[in-house]
Amino acid sequence: MAAISGGYRYLLLTFSFPSQEIRRDYGTYREGSFLQIKFIDDEKMTLYNTGVDDVRFNSKTGLYEIQAQFSIDYKQEKILRKKDIDKIRVTWTSGFEDYDVFNTQFLKTQLQCLEKELD
């Protein structure tokens, strides 16, 4: 999570892959691509990628990475502070992948930590 003056909040994600064939296997993750969050109560929220990034190699981890940045408005932030996450859907240019979330309160905790840092 990140914040800038004016109350803007962002969810920053790094997708890591062991293969340099990311484009072949997944396509790309462009500006406007979306991330859908499904909560335990079956409600859904869609966040849109506002960043543009290309695949890069991380020599420390030996993985290929793509970074994404999702803006979060006030209404979305209120929901993320209250609800537990069940799954996320990442939409690539070649299709989508669904992922189970095991740390269901992760974003709640991150938002609380971010708020403490800003005080």
CATH number of domain containing 101: 2.60.40
Residues with Cβ within 8 Å of 101's Cβ and at least 6 positions away in sequence, in order, are: 85, 86, 87, 88
Given this model, what pLDDT does residue 24 score?
Answer: 84
Tell the residue number behind the tokens 């990311």, with chain if given: 22
pTM: 0.81
Q: Does pLDDT of 85 surpass 80? A: yes
Given this model, what pLDDT does residue 119 score?
Answer: 66
pLDDT > 90: what percent of the chain? 39
CA distance readout (Å), 13 to 41, 42, 70, 104, 119:
24, 23, 8, 16, 24
Rounded CA-CA distance 39/87 in Å is 7
Rounded CA-CA distance 87/44 in Å is 10
Domain count, the chain: 1
Rounded CA-CA distance 77/44 in Å is 13
Given this model, what pLDDT does residue 86 score?
Answer: 93
Rounded CA-CA distance 70/68 in Å is 7
Closest by CA position to 85, among listed 58, 107, 112: 107
Confidence grade of residue 112 (pLDDT, cut at 50, 70, 90): confident
34-66 residue pLDDT tens: 999 999 999 999 999 998 777 889 999 999 998
* Domain boundaries, position 87: 2-118
